[in-house]
Amino acid sequence: MSAGGFCKLPNGSVVVALTVPSPSPGDGAVRMIVHAVNRARALTRLRNLGLRAVYLRGNAEPPTPDEVTAVLHHPDGLIWRTAPNAMQELWHPVRALKRQSARTSPSGV
């Protein structure tokens, strides 16, 4: 399950936005924004993080201008925040999502 879209930038690169279930159980969904050379590379970056079942079908929820600006100004080119977008919540780097899911996973698994 993923809803999202993309936009192509003037330099040929793309920004992909996907809403996916949170890796932490019971946390709802997160909006992932990825900057990459092309759509396939953006999805590969997410799959390499452990989000194996992400697909971009259509362009129903493309990134908003503030999402594009946020990801272009982030050094990793990969950010997230909870969905639906709470405007008071700041964007987080992907390593914060990894730490959050590691904290909530049971030990010994």
Q: What is the pLDDT of residue 85?
A: 63
Tens-digit pLDDT profile for residues 30-51: 889 999 999 999 999 988 888 7
pLDDT tens per residue, range 65-108: 999 999 999 988 999 888 776 667 888 888 766 655 555 544 44
Reduce the secondary structure of the chain to three states and give it as a string. Answer: CCEEEEEECCCCCEEEEEEEECCCCCCCEEEEEEEECCHHHHHHHHHHCCCCCCCCCCCCCCCCHHHHHHHHCCCCCEEEEEECCCCCCCCEEHHHHHHHHHHHCCCCC
Note the pTM of the prediction, 2 decimals.
0.80
